[in-house]
Structure 1
Amino acid sequence: MIGRLQGILIETKPPQIMVDVAGVGYEVDVPMSTFYQLPALNQNITLLIHHVVREDAQLLYGFYTDLERQWFRQLLKITGVGPKLALSVLSGLSVEELHRAILTQDHVKLTHIPGVGKKTAERLMLELKQSVAKFAESMASPAVFTPSVKDEVVEALLALGYQEREATKVIEQVNDIATVEEGIRAALKLLMRTGGAR
Protein backbone atom coordinates (compact mmCIF):
# COMPACT_ATOMS: atom_id res chain seq x y z
CA MET A 1 0.00 0.00 0.00
CA ILE A 2 1.17 3.54 -0.73
CA GLY A 3 1.44 5.65 2.44
CA ARG A 4 3.38 8.66 1.19
CA LEU A 5 4.31 10.27 -2.13
CA GLN A 6 7.26 12.57 -2.70
CA GLY A 7 7.83 14.01 -6.14
CA ILE A 8 7.20 16.95 -8.48
CA LEU A 9 3.79 18.60 -8.80
CA ILE A 10 3.09 18.60 -12.55
CA GLU A 11 -0.67 19.18 -12.87
CA THR A 12 -3.58 20.61 -10.86
CA LYS A 13 -7.23 20.05 -11.75
CA PRO A 14 -9.18 20.46 -8.50
CA PRO A 15 -9.72 18.30 -6.61
CA GLN A 16 -7.16 16.16 -8.48
CA ILE A 17 -3.45 16.76 -8.86
CA MET A 18 -0.67 14.79 -10.55
CA VAL A 19 2.66 14.07 -8.90
CA ASP A 20 5.63 12.87 -10.94
CA VAL A 21 7.66 10.30 -9.00
CA ALA A 22 10.70 9.10 -10.93
CA GLY A 23 8.91 9.53 -14.25
CA VAL A 24 5.59 7.99 -13.17
CA GLY A 25 2.62 10.35 -12.85
CA TYR A 26 0.35 9.58 -9.87
CA GLU A 27 -3.17 11.05 -9.89
CA VAL A 28 -4.13 12.09 -6.36
CA ASP A 29 -7.41 13.54 -5.08
CA VAL A 30 -6.92 16.10 -2.31
CA PRO A 31 -9.26 18.16 -0.10
CA MET A 32 -9.29 21.91 -0.66
CA SER A 33 -7.45 22.44 2.64
CA THR A 34 -4.47 20.68 1.06
CA PHE A 35 -5.06 22.11 -2.42
CA TYR A 36 -4.74 25.70 -1.14
CA GLN A 37 -1.28 24.90 0.26
CA LEU A 38 0.13 23.37 -2.91
CA PRO A 39 3.45 24.72 -4.21
CA ALA A 40 3.80 26.09 -7.73
CA LEU A 41 3.91 23.64 -10.64
CA ASN A 42 7.21 21.80 -11.12
CA GLN A 43 8.07 22.19 -7.43
CA ASN A 44 8.72 19.39 -4.91
CA ILE A 45 5.77 18.09 -2.93
CA THR A 46 5.30 15.49 -0.20
CA LEU A 47 1.85 14.11 0.65
CA LEU A 48 0.56 11.53 3.10
CA ILE A 49 -1.58 9.06 1.18
CA HIS A 50 -4.71 6.99 1.78
CA HIS A 51 -4.63 4.21 -0.83
CA VAL A 52 -7.90 2.54 -1.90
CA VAL A 53 -7.74 -0.67 -3.96
CA ARG A 54 -10.89 -1.72 -5.80
CA GLU A 55 -11.55 -4.34 -8.44
CA ASP A 56 -11.75 -1.70 -11.16
CA ALA A 57 -9.36 0.95 -9.85
CA GLN A 58 -6.63 2.03 -7.46
CA LEU A 59 -7.33 5.44 -5.94
CA LEU A 60 -4.98 7.78 -4.08
CA TYR A 61 -6.11 10.49 -1.64
CA GLY A 62 -3.45 12.95 -0.47
CA PHE A 63 -3.08 15.13 2.63
CA TYR A 64 -0.52 17.58 3.95
CA THR A 65 -1.09 16.63 7.60
CA ASP A 66 -1.57 13.34 9.37
CA LEU A 67 -4.52 14.82 11.28
CA GLU A 68 -6.38 15.41 7.98
CA ARG A 69 -5.72 11.85 6.91
CA GLN A 70 -6.90 10.50 10.28
CA TRP A 71 -10.17 12.43 10.00
CA PHE A 72 -10.61 11.25 6.41
CA ARG A 73 -10.21 7.63 7.53
CA GLN A 74 -12.58 8.19 10.43
CA LEU A 75 -15.21 9.62 8.08
CA LEU A 76 -14.91 6.57 5.81
CA LYS A 77 -15.94 4.32 8.71
CA ILE A 78 -19.36 5.98 8.82
CA THR A 79 -22.17 4.21 6.99
CA GLY A 80 -23.00 5.93 3.72
CA VAL A 81 -19.83 8.05 3.63
CA GLY A 82 -17.48 7.30 0.73
CA PRO A 83 -14.20 8.97 -0.25
CA LYS A 84 -15.92 11.65 -2.35
CA LEU A 85 -18.13 12.82 0.52
CA ALA A 86 -15.26 12.58 3.03
CA LEU A 87 -13.17 14.86 0.78
CA SER A 88 -16.13 17.21 0.47
CA VAL A 89 -16.42 17.46 4.27
CA LEU A 90 -12.70 18.22 4.65
CA SER A 91 -12.92 20.72 1.80
CA GLY A 92 -15.89 22.53 3.35
CA LEU A 93 -14.49 22.67 6.88
CA SER A 94 -11.00 22.73 8.32
CA VAL A 95 -10.12 19.97 10.79
CA GLU A 96 -10.52 22.46 13.65
CA GLU A 97 -13.93 23.64 12.37
CA LEU A 98 -15.15 20.06 11.95
CA HIS A 99 -13.98 19.21 15.45
CA ARG A 100 -15.74 22.27 16.88
CA ALA A 101 -18.96 21.52 14.96
CA ILE A 102 -19.08 18.00 16.42
CA LEU A 103 -18.34 19.21 19.95
CA THR A 104 -21.10 21.83 19.78
CA GLN A 105 -23.43 19.56 17.76
CA ASP A 106 -23.71 22.24 15.06
CA HIS A 107 -25.74 20.36 12.43
CA VAL A 108 -26.32 23.53 10.38
CA LYS A 109 -22.60 24.00 9.69
CA LEU A 110 -22.37 20.48 8.28
CA THR A 111 -25.47 20.83 6.09
CA HIS A 112 -23.76 23.72 4.26
CA ILE A 113 -21.37 21.15 2.77
CA PRO A 114 -22.46 19.84 -0.67
CA GLY A 115 -23.83 16.31 -0.35
CA VAL A 116 -24.53 16.55 3.39
CA GLY A 117 -28.22 16.71 4.23
CA LYS A 118 -29.84 16.85 7.67
CA LYS A 119 -29.88 13.06 8.18
CA THR A 120 -26.26 12.65 7.08
CA ALA A 121 -25.21 15.52 9.36
CA GLU A 122 -26.97 13.89 12.32
CA ARG A 123 -25.27 10.56 11.58
CA LEU A 124 -21.87 12.26 11.35
CA MET A 125 -22.45 14.01 14.67
CA LEU A 126 -23.51 10.81 16.39
CA GLU A 127 -20.77 8.55 15.07
CA LEU A 128 -17.90 11.03 15.29
CA LYS A 129 -18.66 12.20 18.81
CA GLN A 130 -16.68 9.33 20.35
CA SER A 131 -13.63 10.16 18.23
CA VAL A 132 -13.49 13.82 19.23
CA ALA A 133 -11.59 13.29 22.50
CA LYS A 134 -8.84 11.39 20.73
CA PHE A 135 -8.39 14.05 18.06
CA ALA A 136 -8.67 16.88 20.60
CA GLU A 137 -5.62 15.42 22.35
CA SER A 138 -3.71 15.35 19.05
CA MET A 139 -4.48 19.01 18.36
CA ALA A 140 -3.95 20.28 21.91
CA SER A 141 -0.58 18.71 22.71
CA PRO A 142 2.54 19.60 20.76
CA ALA A 143 3.68 16.73 18.56
CA VAL A 144 6.91 15.04 19.61
CA PHE A 145 7.38 13.62 16.11
CA THR A 146 6.56 15.13 12.77
CA PRO A 147 3.18 13.60 11.83
CA SER A 148 4.59 11.29 9.18
CA VAL A 149 7.32 9.89 11.44
CA LYS A 150 4.94 9.32 14.34
CA ASP A 151 2.42 7.66 12.03
CA GLU A 152 5.05 5.39 10.49
CA VAL A 153 6.34 4.29 13.89
CA VAL A 154 2.83 3.38 15.07
CA GLU A 155 2.16 1.48 11.83
CA ALA A 156 5.44 -0.42 12.25
CA LEU A 157 4.49 -1.41 15.81
CA LEU A 158 1.06 -2.59 14.61
CA ALA A 159 2.75 -4.64 11.89
CA LEU A 160 4.93 -6.23 14.58
CA GLY A 161 1.79 -7.41 16.35
CA TYR A 162 1.33 -4.79 19.08
CA GLN A 163 -2.15 -3.49 19.86
CA GLU A 164 -3.05 0.02 18.67
CA ARG A 165 -3.74 1.11 22.26
CA GLU A 166 -0.28 0.17 23.56
CA ALA A 167 1.49 1.42 20.41
CA THR A 168 -0.21 4.82 20.70
CA LYS A 169 0.49 5.00 24.43
CA VAL A 170 4.19 4.18 24.17
CA ILE A 171 4.78 6.61 21.30
CA GLU A 172 3.80 9.52 23.55
CA GLN A 173 6.61 8.57 25.96
CA VAL A 174 9.37 8.75 23.35
CA ASN A 175 11.09 12.13 23.06
CA ASP A 176 13.58 13.79 20.71
CA ILE A 177 13.43 11.21 17.94
CA ALA A 178 14.20 12.38 14.41
CA THR A 179 13.80 9.21 12.34
CA VAL A 180 11.42 6.27 12.06
CA GLU A 181 14.22 3.83 12.88
CA GLU A 182 15.12 5.66 16.10
CA GLY A 183 11.45 5.86 17.03
CA ILE A 184 10.90 2.11 16.54
CA ARG A 185 14.02 1.26 18.57
CA ALA A 186 13.04 3.56 21.44
CA ALA A 187 9.41 2.37 21.42
CA LEU A 188 10.42 -1.31 21.42
CA LYS A 189 12.82 -0.70 24.30
CA LEU A 190 10.01 0.86 26.34
CA LEU A 191 7.57 -1.89 25.40
CA MET A 192 10.07 -4.57 26.49
CA ARG A 193 10.66 -2.74 29.75
CA THR A 194 6.91 -2.42 30.50
CA GLY A 195 6.17 -5.97 29.37
CA GLY A 196 4.16 -5.09 26.22
CA ALA A 197 3.14 -8.37 24.61
CA ARG A 198 3.17 -9.22 20.94
Structure 2
Amino acid sequence: MIGRIRGMLVEKTPGQALVECSGLGYEIDIPYTTFFHLPESGQEVTLHTHFAVREDAQSLFGFASRLDRDLFRLLIKVNGVGPKLAVGILSGLDAHQFIRCVEARDVNALVKLPGVGKKTAERLLIDMADRISQLEGQFVPMAAGGAVPEGSPTSHQEPVADAQDEAESALIALGYKPQEAARAISRIAEEGMSSEDLIRLALRSMIPTK
Protein backbone atom coordinates (compact mmCIF):
# COMPACT_ATOMS: atom_id res chain seq x y z
CA MET A 1 0.00 0.00 0.00
CA ILE A 2 1.31 3.45 -0.92
CA GLY A 3 0.01 5.75 1.82
CA ARG A 4 1.90 8.97 1.18
CA ILE A 5 4.14 10.51 -1.45
CA ARG A 6 6.46 13.47 -1.04
CA GLY A 7 8.38 14.79 -4.01
CA MET A 8 8.58 17.45 -6.68
CA LEU A 9 5.39 18.44 -8.46
CA VAL A 10 6.30 18.07 -12.14
CA GLU A 11 2.95 19.14 -13.56
CA LYS A 12 -0.67 19.49 -12.55
CA THR A 13 -4.00 19.57 -14.33
CA PRO A 14 -7.52 19.51 -12.88
CA GLY A 15 -7.92 15.89 -11.89
CA GLN A 16 -4.31 14.74 -12.00
CA ALA A 17 -0.83 15.50 -10.68
CA LEU A 18 2.56 14.13 -11.72
CA VAL A 19 4.93 13.88 -8.76
CA GLU A 20 8.58 12.85 -9.07
CA CYS A 21 9.95 10.92 -6.11
CA SER A 22 13.38 9.25 -6.06
CA GLY A 23 13.59 9.38 -9.84
CA LEU A 24 10.13 7.91 -10.42
CA GLY A 25 7.19 9.91 -11.76
CA TYR A 26 3.84 9.01 -10.18
CA GLU A 27 0.64 9.87 -12.03
CA ILE A 28 -1.88 10.57 -9.29
CA ASP A 29 -5.62 11.10 -9.71
CA ILE A 30 -6.81 13.92 -7.47
CA PRO A 31 -10.12 15.62 -6.65
CA TYR A 32 -10.43 19.32 -7.46
CA THR A 33 -10.39 20.23 -3.78
CA THR A 34 -6.82 18.86 -3.71
CA PHE A 35 -5.89 20.52 -7.01
CA PHE A 36 -6.61 23.91 -5.46
CA HIS A 37 -4.07 23.21 -2.70
CA LEU A 38 -1.19 22.20 -4.97
CA PRO A 39 1.87 24.47 -5.16
CA GLU A 40 3.38 25.60 -8.44
CA SER A 41 5.18 23.06 -10.62
CA GLY A 42 8.77 22.54 -9.52
CA GLN A 43 7.97 22.83 -5.82
CA GLU A 44 7.78 20.09 -3.21
CA VAL A 45 4.41 18.59 -2.43
CA THR A 46 3.09 15.91 -0.09
CA LEU A 47 -0.02 13.91 -0.95
CA HIS A 48 -1.80 11.31 1.16
CA THR A 49 -2.54 8.46 -1.21
CA HIS A 50 -4.70 5.41 -1.79
CA PHE A 51 -3.49 2.67 -4.15
CA ALA A 52 -6.31 0.80 -5.90
CA VAL A 53 -5.76 -2.43 -7.82
CA ARG A 54 -8.33 -3.89 -10.19
CA GLU A 55 -8.11 -6.64 -12.78
CA ASP A 56 -7.84 -4.10 -15.59
CA ALA A 57 -6.04 -1.18 -13.92
CA GLN A 58 -3.89 0.10 -11.09
CA SER A 59 -4.66 3.62 -9.91
CA LEU A 60 -3.10 5.95 -7.38
CA PHE A 61 -5.36 8.59 -5.80
CA GLY A 62 -3.93 11.57 -3.92
CA PHE A 63 -5.37 14.01 -1.40
CA ALA A 64 -4.15 17.22 0.24
CA SER A 65 -5.15 15.97 3.69
CA ARG A 66 -5.28 12.64 5.48
CA LEU A 67 -8.89 13.42 6.38
CA ASP A 68 -9.89 13.63 2.70
CA ARG A 69 -8.01 10.38 1.97
CA ASP A 70 -9.65 8.55 4.86
CA LEU A 71 -13.09 9.84 3.85
CA PHE A 72 -12.41 8.59 0.30
CA ARG A 73 -11.70 5.14 1.76
CA LEU A 74 -15.00 5.19 3.62
CA LEU A 75 -16.92 6.37 0.56
CA ILE A 76 -15.73 3.52 -1.67
CA LYS A 77 -17.09 1.04 0.88
CA VAL A 78 -20.61 2.34 0.24
CA ASN A 79 -22.57 0.13 -2.14
CA GLY A 80 -22.61 1.70 -5.60
CA VAL A 81 -19.81 4.18 -4.92
CA GLY A 82 -16.59 3.44 -6.78
CA PRO A 83 -13.32 5.41 -6.81
CA LYS A 84 -14.42 7.62 -9.74
CA LEU A 85 -17.63 8.69 -8.01
CA ALA A 86 -15.82 9.14 -4.70
CA VAL A 87 -13.32 11.48 -6.38
CA GLY A 88 -16.25 13.34 -7.94
CA ILE A 89 -17.87 13.78 -4.54
CA LEU A 90 -14.63 15.09 -3.04
CA SER A 91 -14.19 17.40 -6.03
CA GLY A 92 -17.38 19.21 -5.15
CA LEU A 93 -17.16 18.96 -1.35
CA ASP A 94 -14.12 18.72 0.86
CA ALA A 95 -14.23 16.39 3.87
CA HIS A 96 -15.52 19.00 6.30
CA GLN A 97 -18.31 20.07 3.93
CA PHE A 98 -19.32 16.47 3.27
CA ILE A 99 -19.42 15.68 6.99
CA ARG A 100 -21.65 18.72 7.57
CA CYS A 101 -24.00 17.45 4.84
CA VAL A 102 -24.23 14.05 6.52
CA GLU A 103 -24.81 15.56 9.96
CA ALA A 104 -27.51 17.85 8.56
CA ARG A 105 -28.92 15.06 6.35
CA ASP A 106 -28.71 17.50 3.45
CA VAL A 107 -29.83 15.47 0.44
CA ASN A 108 -30.16 18.56 -1.76
CA ALA A 109 -26.45 19.40 -1.58
CA LEU A 110 -25.44 15.85 -2.48
CA VAL A 111 -27.76 15.45 -5.48
CA LYS A 112 -26.14 18.50 -7.08
CA LEU A 113 -22.92 16.51 -7.40
CA PRO A 114 -22.42 14.88 -10.83
CA GLY A 115 -23.32 11.21 -10.75
CA VAL A 116 -25.17 11.40 -7.45
CA GLY A 117 -28.89 10.76 -7.81
CA LYS A 118 -31.42 10.96 -5.00
CA LYS A 119 -31.16 7.25 -4.16
CA THR A 120 -27.36 7.41 -4.01
CA ALA A 121 -27.52 10.56 -1.89
CA GLU A 122 -29.93 8.92 0.55
CA ARG A 123 -27.72 5.81 0.72
CA LEU A 124 -24.68 7.99 1.43
CA LEU A 125 -26.46 9.76 4.28
CA ILE A 126 -27.54 6.46 5.84
CA ASP A 127 -24.30 4.52 5.36
CA MET A 128 -21.97 7.38 6.25
CA ALA A 129 -23.86 8.51 9.36
CA ASP A 130 -22.12 5.90 11.51
CA ARG A 131 -18.86 5.75 9.58
CA ILE A 132 -17.89 9.41 9.89
CA SER A 133 -17.35 8.84 13.61
CA GLN A 134 -14.15 7.06 12.53
CA LEU A 135 -12.84 10.43 11.33
CA GLU A 136 -13.24 12.24 14.65
CA GLY A 137 -10.15 14.03 15.91
CA GLN A 138 -8.65 14.52 12.47
CA PHE A 139 -7.87 17.88 10.96
CA VAL A 140 -6.91 19.12 7.50
CA PRO A 141 -3.16 19.82 7.25
CA MET A 142 -1.96 21.80 4.28
CA ALA A 143 0.09 19.91 1.73
CA ALA A 144 3.82 20.43 2.14
CA GLY A 145 5.18 22.85 -0.38
CA GLY A 146 2.67 25.53 0.48
CA ALA A 147 -1.01 25.33 -0.10
CA VAL A 148 -2.85 28.18 -1.70
CA PRO A 149 -5.13 29.76 0.94
CA GLU A 150 -8.71 30.04 -0.16
CA GLY A 151 -9.34 33.32 -1.91
CA SER A 152 -5.67 34.22 -2.36
CA PRO A 153 -4.49 35.27 -5.82
CA THR A 154 -2.60 32.78 -7.95
CA SER A 155 0.98 33.51 -8.94
CA HIS A 156 0.19 33.92 -12.63
CA GLN A 157 -2.65 35.18 -14.75
CA GLU A 158 -4.04 33.41 -17.78
CA PRO A 159 -5.76 35.01 -20.77
CA VAL A 160 -9.44 35.38 -19.86
CA ALA A 161 -10.76 33.24 -22.73
CA ASP A 162 -8.24 30.46 -22.08
CA ALA A 163 -8.96 30.44 -18.35
CA GLN A 164 -12.72 30.25 -18.90
CA ASP A 165 -12.37 27.51 -21.54
CA GLU A 166 -10.14 25.47 -19.23
CA ALA A 167 -12.54 25.92 -16.32
CA GLU A 168 -15.52 24.84 -18.43
CA SER A 169 -13.62 21.79 -19.70
CA ALA A 170 -12.72 20.84 -16.13
CA LEU A 171 -16.36 21.02 -15.00
CA ILE A 172 -17.47 18.95 -18.00
CA ALA A 173 -14.80 16.34 -17.19
CA LEU A 174 -16.19 16.22 -13.66
CA GLY A 175 -19.60 15.27 -15.08
CA TYR A 176 -21.51 18.52 -15.48
CA LYS A 177 -23.34 19.17 -18.73
CA PRO A 178 -21.68 21.72 -21.08
CA GLN A 179 -24.60 24.13 -20.65
CA GLU A 180 -24.38 23.89 -16.86
CA ALA A 181 -20.64 24.47 -16.92
CA ALA A 182 -20.92 27.47 -19.25
CA ARG A 183 -23.67 29.08 -17.14
CA ALA A 184 -21.77 28.54 -13.90
CA ILE A 185 -18.59 30.10 -15.30
CA SER A 186 -20.39 33.05 -16.86
CA ARG A 187 -22.10 33.87 -13.55
CA ILE A 188 -18.88 34.26 -11.58
CA ALA A 189 -16.26 35.17 -14.21
CA GLU A 190 -14.37 38.41 -13.69
CA GLU A 191 -11.41 39.86 -15.51
CA GLY A 192 -8.06 38.49 -14.38
CA MET A 193 -9.42 35.34 -12.71
CA SER A 194 -7.38 32.17 -13.18
CA SER A 195 -8.94 28.87 -14.21
CA GLU A 196 -8.37 27.55 -10.66
CA ASP A 197 -10.35 30.46 -9.17
CA LEU A 198 -13.11 30.00 -11.74
CA ILE A 199 -13.45 26.28 -11.02
CA ARG A 200 -13.46 26.81 -7.26
CA LEU A 201 -16.11 29.53 -7.33
CA ALA A 202 -18.22 27.75 -9.94
CA LEU A 203 -18.30 24.59 -7.85
CA ARG A 204 -19.21 26.60 -4.78
CA SER A 205 -22.10 28.29 -6.63
CA MET A 206 -23.38 24.97 -8.00
CA ILE A 207 -23.11 23.09 -4.70
CA PRO A 208 -24.09 25.46 -1.88
CA THR A 209 -23.48 24.02 1.57
CA LYS A 210 -24.81 25.03 4.97
State the TM-score bracket (shorter-chain normalisation).
Answer: 0.5 to 0.7
Q: CA offsets per residue over residues 156-192 of structure 1, 9 Å max, x none?
A: xxxxxxxxxxxxxxxxxxxxxxxxxxxxxxxxxxxxx
- The equivalent of 2:53 in structure 1 is 53
User: For structure 1, which runs of at least 5 residues remain unmatched after alignment?
Assistant: 148-198
| 1:86 maps onto 2:69 in alignment | no
Q: Pick the structure with greater CA Rg.
A: 1
User: For structure 2, which runs of at least 5 residues remain unmatched after alignment?
Assistant: 143-210
* Alpha-carbon distance change, 113 to 45 in structure 1, aligned in 2, over 3 angstroms: same
* Alpha-carbon shift at residue 46 of structure 1 (Å): 1.0
* Alpha-carbon shift at residue 17 of structure 1 (Å): 1.0
- The equivalent of 1:14 in structure 2 is 14
TM-score, length basis structure 2 = 0.64
Greater helix fraction, Structure 1 or Structure 2: 1
Q: Equivalents in 2 of 1:25, 1:50: separation in Å?
A: 16
Q: CA offsets per residue over residues 77-121 of structure 1, 9 Å max, x none?
A: 001101110011111112111111111111000001011010110
CA RMSD across the alignment: 2.1
* Alpha-carbon shift at residue 133 of structure 1 (Å): 2.9
Q: Equivalents in 2 of 1:116, 1:127: separation in Å?
A: 15
Q: Equivalents in 2 of 1:47, 1:132: separation in Å?
A: 21
**Structure-to-structure mapping, 1:19-168, within 5 angstroms:** 19-135=19-135, 137-139=136-138
* Alpha-carbon distance change, 134 to 4 in structure 1, aligned in 2, over 3 angstroms: closer
TM-score, length basis structure 1 = 0.67
Q: Equivalents in 2 of 1:52, 1:89: separation in Å?
A: 17
**Larger RCO (CA within 8 A; separation ≥ 6):** 2
Q: Equivalents in 2 of 1:72, 1:134: separation in Å?
A: 12
Which 4+ residue blocks in structure 1 deviate beyond 6 angstroms? none
Give the aligned length: 143
Q: Equivalents in 1 of 2:97, 2:55: separation in Å?
A: 35
Q: CA offsets per residue over residues 34-76 of structure 1, 9 Å max, x none?
A: 1101000011111111001122221100012111111000000
In the alignment, is the contact (CA less than 8 A) between 1:103 and 1:132 conserved in 2? no
* Alpha-carbon distance change, 54 to 133 in structure 1, aligned in 2, over 3 angstroms: closer
Letter in 2 for 1:138: G
Aligned-residue identity in percent:
46
**SS class of match (1:138):** coil
Q: Equivalents in 1 of 2:86, 2:131: separation in Å?
A: 15
* Alpha-carbon shift at residue 10 of structure 1 (Å): 0.9
Letter in 1 for 2:91: S
Q: Equivalents in 2 of 1:94, 1:46: separation in Å?
A: 17
